[in-house]
Amino acid sequence: MSLPILNRIALAISSLSPRPDVLSMSADTTASAPSSATATGSLGDHHASVAVPKGGHWWFRLLAFLGPGYMVSVGYMDPGNWATDLAGGSQFGYLLLSVILLSNLMAIVLQGLSARLGIATGLDLAQACRARYPRGVNLALWGICELAIIACDLAEVIGTAIALKLMFGIPLTMGAIITAVDVVLVLLLMNRGFRALEAFVIALLLIIFVCFGLQMALAAPPIAAVLGGFIPRAQVVTDPQALYLAIGIIGATVMPHNLYLHSSIVQTRAYPRTDVGRKSALRWAVTDSTVALMFALFINASILILAAAVFHAQGRTDVQEIEQAHALLAPMLGVGLASTLFAVALLASGINSTVTATLAGQIVMEGFLQLRLPPWVRRLLTRGIAIVPVVIVTWLYGEAGTARLLVLSQVVLSMQLPFAVIPLVRFVSDRQLMGALVAPAWLVRIAWGIAAVIVCLNLKLLWDTALH
């Protein structure tokens, strides 16, 4: 079945009034032939556009599915992660490494479920919500998700602006405004095909990986202390400040909009839309995302380890800002290259996050509202809203204010996680909806456990905040 027909079917499904069986028909659609993207700029136009070899060595099939996981992993190492990881490492040493590990394992499970939903139903999470829930609930979920994307974009604006200042001396306020033109990059890449977009993202990820690999070698952290940090300790929950940073790390790692993004971009592969084809596609998609998220674990852990080894170990527990960390790295490590590597990695992280946030914004708006906007309009709207608080806070409170705003944005993301996780778990556990790819009971129990942990941590944070 051709892609235009599938698009019309999805449009018709999502316009129906919600009822329990409304999504079951999507599991029987087929779209095995690659199709070319149109000029609308919608990600749906790229579905089934990446060819998948039907035979040959398994390595070639793995390469065909390589990409979506790395697109998703960008959100797990964006500038927001830098702020929480730097603050956690400088203040608590290696203590919060256990939180990074836990949040990464949670991310692997949730992203696997997101891929499962997209492959099994042919719909992304936003489209599934629209078909299953009443209009009022959908509008609320859309609003919450848009807030999450704005909070994420806020972190990208701050991170990229800081990187521009560190590398070129551009003032923060001007750097924040300059970030609005990054939509041109996304448009150029999308016009060259989805594979070009993936290649660009992976190239920047490799730059980040090399930068932090070199910095870790320069810092030479004690292996025993690092390994001990991955063991959970009660202080993470009993210390209000540690808990605040822990929730910020979870919010910065398990990002709500990534669940919407992954459920859509896995459909860019032209796998056979049959039970056998979907099961095979799911195996490769989960392999792709798991490896990519382990890559993200290394980056996140490296940032915290670097802060713990360089700052905390020398009594500098007050390093909360990215700029402060950049200024101290070279003199404390005795190598000028350390600060340069730090700035280059930060800029690559900010640019990468721009690409995926733009895609996620389109998916959410089109899925919940059936509203298609040109990518440049959509991007400028989101970025414009995010730039305003950055400019105001920088003007009123200086660079220290933007650092606190960066950490706050990650806590806001964590608060919004349940509103994406709970619908996702409900959908993938519905046999009528998912068909042969319904999530097994043990996986559903783990997913509900993750949702419970997120909700409980958020409630405790709200309680502690109210008391203080």
Question: What's the confidence (pLDDT) of residue 445?
Answer: 96
Q: How close are the terminal C-alpha atoms of the chain, in Å?
A: 59
Structure confidence at residue 183 (pLDDT): 65
Q: What angle do CA 346, 352, 353 make, to 5 degrees?
A: 90
400-455 residue pLDDT tens: 677 677 767 767 777 788 899 999 999 999 999 999 999 999 999 999 999 898 88
**Which pLDDT does position 252 carry in this prediction?**
65
Q: How far is residue 235's CA from residue 225's CA, in Å, rounded to a whole number?
A: 16
On whether the pTM is more than 0.75, the answer is yes
Supply the range of the domain harboring residue 219: 3-467
Helix, strand and coil percent figures for the chain, each rounded to 5? 80, 0, 20
User: Residue 40's pLDDT is what?
Assistant: 47
**CA diameter of the chain:** 65
Within 10 angstroms of residue 113's Cβ, the number of other Cβ atoms is: 27
CATH of the domain at 384: 1.20.1740.10
Q: Number of folded domains in the chain?
A: 1
Q: What is the per-residue pLDDT for 43?
A: 67
The CA distances from residue 337 to 13, 160, 166, 195, 334, in Å, are: 55, 20, 13, 33, 9
Burial class (CB in 10 A: 0-12, 13-18, 19+), 374: middle
Query: Residue 304 burial (CB < 10 Å; 0-12/13-18/19+)?
Result: buried
Helical ranges in 319-440 per DSSP H: 322-333, 337-369, 375-416, 418-428, 431-434
Angle between helices 79-92 and 322-333 (to 10 degrees): 60
CA-to-CA distance for 45 and 347, rounded, in angstroms?
A: 30
Q: Tens digit of pLDDT for each residue in 205-240?
A: 999 999 988 988 888 899 999 999 999 999 988 888
Give the residue among 430, 439, 440, 360 at the shortest CA–CA distance from 26: 430
Q: Is 281:65 a contact under the CB 8 Å cutoff?
A: yes
Alpha carbon distance 321, 27 (integer Å):
48
HEC sequence for 124-165 = CHHHHHHHHCCHHHHHHHHHHHHHHHHHHHHHHHHHHHHHHH
Q: Which residues of the chain have pLDDT under 70?
A: 1-44, 48, 56, 183, 251-252, 335, 375, 379, 398-400, 403, 407, 410, 461-462, 464-468
* CA nearest to 303, candidates 17, 77, 11: 77
The neighbour count for residue 443, using CB atoms within 10 Å, is 17
